[in-house]
Structure 1
């Protein structure tokens, strides 16, 4: 009987060997990273902020931030040594053979140019097509990434698109020249669960239809487990665990990987705890029959909600459901069309400029925005940012201000030594703590939190959630907590309100709503949430790490 000879191992499409990335001062940010990935493979790279995930991918694409350089190592794409290419050679390769989709589409799409024109420019730059052929290709790509009304989207500006739609446009730009390798760097991080599921399905479908090799960078283990056959876990610039997704998640070899899995398990939809705010309590914040919007467009319709001292209300819903509009209306940034907003029994809706300014200076209501880097003045130190509100309120006593700064930093667990640094010198988790410290310095009674953990890895997310829970329990600070991460909502919220097309369609204790939702929309949100799974199928001989 003739035995069939085993297939030889697949040749790597991408080979990274002993990669070291350093600062101008010689500090190593990526240390001795090596891996190989064959054509058609899917690789997830996970780790907390600052672990070197994105820098590894940017080194592959030769788009490292200024001041960073590859100190040693090699990167080969097929038979091409990428580390030796000049600028002209990269122009012929980047976008055609290697392409990328990054986290924030708003930073990569020009707000003043229609998306169709931007897509045409990318096509003409890489494929050298005429305008008519490029337009036809652009419409084809828009349909390919899921736009049935491609001709309408073609004429729209980026600010007219939702986050998920803008991300689809970026994907269309990334694949316009038919690349062999696609790097998706946190491409679904800021998206709600249903849009995230749609974008992940799109990336996976495009990978299969176009025989793409995929590297997916994410701080979310559940996302990686849904789509990637293999995974690398990074910490402090080095690989600490690697292998088939099934093996790494099912039998992690690194204590750090085990901690990531455990941290993920702490906040899942199934982990919601019974409410800690019991009995009937006088509401601190009460919203009744609220209608609000932009001009003649109504976004919030007939919204009622109450918030007791020390209570955390999780507000969930898809992009465009009105979550942020609701918080901005409560704060007075958007005028109410009708309805009332009361803080401790006093009406705060419809305030004139003077009383509204006094309300904001009092600090009773504080808003924590989604993007901490954009929320902080890049030219102010952390100390100056945290105490800015105290100065605006007219406080001049240096000792009192210094004490408030120290107490705020201590409350969020931020090292006092970081107070003299600028925001860009802090990690994402540290910046988010600084933003919360700025709010706490004014001794707030209500925190309005708009996606405060969406851009954080599992470790930093867990720290911030523990911080917020402690503020509610120890200081009695009431909170409205917006998040597309239903696991985070389950881990922190006493009650949940579900917002759909501007209306609250379901509300109740978090454990009951998330375990047994009554509204079809809530059930759809829960069904779309990614779950950590070690059952991802594997393709043999497509990946090795050294």
Structure 2
């Protein structure tokens, strides 16, 4: 009798689990139909109601292709050659286009990395969401509008009426991402795939988006698949994690188990990279007293005094930078952090003459540059005293020029340098950024994102600058490429190059800087040694930044309620 009761309870439990299953992949293999190569091999996992599965791996590991196979939108070159996909009782691989049209949005939906690419720039965002609701639900225009306003409020946009009437280009990246999430949940789907939705967002907005996903899961009973190259992001929200490498699942299990006791070498490497270049190396250390400030006798390379930058529009005048005062010394590495719109890039562009200060003074290597005309700026830039590395190397590198020509151009413009010396400098800088000479004959489009970023750094270095400004150089890179670029920056720092590292990612900044400047709404609100900023932040905004930064372990992170309280205090103080 006892055995019979146990058997029945086991059967009941199994039936209950089966009812809770919303998505199951079993041995899914995705093949490139041109090359015949399997790019994803034998991936299996089960997603249950109200649960979150994380898929983590570097670029090219097969994360996005796996998600696209679930959505039935694989690119034409790829096909599911083996395995099965069951979505709410539907055999995904047997569905025709009409059936998919009925399922997408209502049963399963997705939010992808670049929200601006998925919204029509010429149509107001509210109208775009309302049109989907009207088409799928057959409701009136007014009902669709009210439903859209409620959705915009649900994703925590402060003024739904205003956002409804705005165009995509009028919204920030974080706001666009929330609009896309609102569109994704507009038809009450049961499964939401979030593919790299926090990439390139500043840490406070990233934390808000992750909080929002968790909140939607709890309130709506959503089941989530969170895809990221950042293990720390997955660690914040997922019940279970799959680690992909080159198309294979190398590790799986509960998030806590995988992070605490990783079995595969690659998982251990990912966790180790976060400890090497992230907040963990500061937060896990024993608390120390602030170090006494010593007089730094090194020559000042950049001196900014009371720098202000204003932008005029047809209707108003906006001050993007207010009274910025700081110094950068020879051999020093400083970080400039802040959220989108805080004035980070404006400050950097003022230093290289791309924007003109409306007030204040700037000197570089002892030369007053404030008020330079175009001719004087051209002469100053040719000397290569200060160089700039932009966030997106694909846009800053000429797509029709080879890498060899790209690296040679700054030296050719300077003049007076022999061809042999140019080749020698190029070879040295390529080796310094850990790239092989066989890349020289290629074009930017033939390189990976990490390779392009290292080429951008090499191009900046060939003129042997005294100061290197890097504007968000690792924000869109996966973990492996991020670490490679940060290691290069640390080697430059050790060799005596002065660095200004601009980022919204406090973890990356912490790994390569001596000192950090914190910008908030155009003003410098804190400036201190990196260790002091991370462990002893004095300003409310800095405390919010540190508390919002994702970590692989829970150490140092603050919960959603604490973050919300800090935001409210910050708004009240502002």
Q: Which region of structure 1 is more displaced relative to structure 2, 410-419 or 320-329?
A: 410-419
Match of 2:483 among 447, 462, 474: 462
Q: Which residue does 2:551 correspond to in 1? A: 531
Asked if the contact 2:322/2:522 (under 8 Å) is kept, the reply is yes
Q: Are the equivalent residues in 2 in contact too, given 1:240–1:254 (CA < 8 A)?
A: yes
The verdict on how the C-alpha distance between 1:92 and 1:308 changes in structure 2, with shifts beyond 3 A counting, is same
Q: Distance in 2 between matches of 1:360 and 1:446?
A: 12
Q: Is the 8 A contact 1:277 1:310 kept in 2?
A: no
Determine the structure 2 residue equivalent to 1:490.
510
1:216 CA displacement: 0.5
Matched, 1:124 2:128: no
1:197 aligns with 2:203: no
Q: 1:501 aligns with which of 515, 521, 545?
A: 521
Deviations 1:93-113 (A, max 9, x none): 222222111122232233333
Q: Is the 8 A contact 2:274 2:280 kept in 1?
A: no
Mapped to 1, the partners of 2:53 and 2:266 lie a distance apart of 19
1:389-428 counterparts in 2 under 5 A? 389-393=410-414, 398-428=419-449
Which structure would you say has the larger Rg? 2
Distance 1:440 1:92 in 2: 54
Q: In structure 2, what is the Cα distance between the partners aligned to 1:400 and 1:78?
A: 65
Deviations 1:525-544 (A, max 9, x none): 112222223799xxxxxxxx
Match of 1:372 in 2: 393
Counterpart in the other structure of 1:14? 23
Change (3 A) 1:118 1:393: farther
Q: How does 1:308-347 map to 2 (within 5 A)?
A: 308-347=329-368
- TM-score when normalising by structure 2: 0.87
1:77 is displaced (CA, Å) by: 1.2
Q: Which residue is equivalent to 1:540?
A: none
Q: 1:514 aligns with which of 534, 538, 541?
A: 534
Say if 1:202 and 1:395 are closer, same or farther in 2 by CA, change over 3 A.
farther
Would you say 1:386 and 2:407 are equivalent positions?
Answer: yes
Secondary structure class of the residue paired with 2:14: coil
Q: Deviations over 1:387-429 (max 9, x none)?
A: 3434454578544443333222211112222333343433322
Q: Distance in 2 between matches of 1:104 and 1:87?
A: 25
User: Partners of 1:293 and 1:189 in 2: how far apart?
Assistant: 29
Moved more, 200-209 or 422-431: 422-431
In the superposition, the TM-score normalised over structure 1's length comes to 0.91
Q: CA deviation at 1:88?
A: 3.0
Deviation sequence 1:71-98 (CA, Å, 0-9, x none): 4333221222222333333222222222
Say if 1:270 and 1:514, in contact at 8 Å, map to a contact too. no
C-alpha distance after superposition, 1:331-375 (max 9, x if no partner): 211111011111111112222111222333333222222223333
C-alpha separation in 1, matches of 2:358 and 2:337: 23
Gaps of 5+ in 2: 286-290, 558-574
Pairwise CA RMSD of aligned residues? Answer: 2.5
**Structure 2 match to 1:5:** 9
Give the secondary structure class of the aligned counterpart of 1:288: strand
Query: Is contact 1:498-1:504 (8 Å) kept?
Result: yes
Q: 1:21 to 1:195 in 2, by over 3 A?
A: same
Structure 1 unaligned runs (5+)?
537-546
**After superposition, what is the alpha-carbon deviation per residue over 1:221-271, rounded to whole angstroms, capped at 9, x for unaligned?**
222111100000011111000011111111111111111111111123252
**d(CA) in 1 for partners of 2:308 and 2:554?**
45
Aligned counterpart, 1:170: 180
Aligned to 1:89: 99
Question: Highest relative contact order (Cα 8 Å, sep 6+), 1 or 2?
Answer: 1
CA distance 1:396–1:517, shift in 2 (3 Å): closer
Cα distance in 2, alignment partners of residues 114 and 330 from structure 1: 36
Is the alpha carbon distance of 1:43 and 1:286 closer, same or farther for their aligned partners in structure 2, counting shifts above 3 Å? same
- Alpha-carbon separation, structure 1, partners of 2:323 and 2:476: 31
Distance 1:277 1:232 in 2: 48
CA contact (8 A) 1:276 1:494 kept: no
1-structure distance, mates of 2:139, 2:108? 19
Match of 2:236 among 226, 240, 252: 226
**How many angstroms does 1:376 deviate by?**
2.9
Compared with structure 1, are the counterparts of its residues 268 and 328 closer, same or farther at alpha carbon in structure 2 (3 Å cutoff)? same
Q: What CA distance in whole angstroms lies between the structure 2 residues aligned with 1:19 and 1:415?
A: 36
Kindly indicate whether residue 373 of structure 2 is the aligned counterpart of residue 352 of structure 1: yes
Listed as ranges, the matches of 1:66-145 within 5 Å are 67-145=77-155
Structure 1 residues 263-272 or 296-305, which shifts more?
Answer: 263-272
Counterpart-to-counterpart distance in 1, 2:440 and 2:218: 48
Match of 1:56 among 48, 56, 66: 66
Greater mean alpha carbon deviation, residues 24-33 or residues 225-234: 24-33
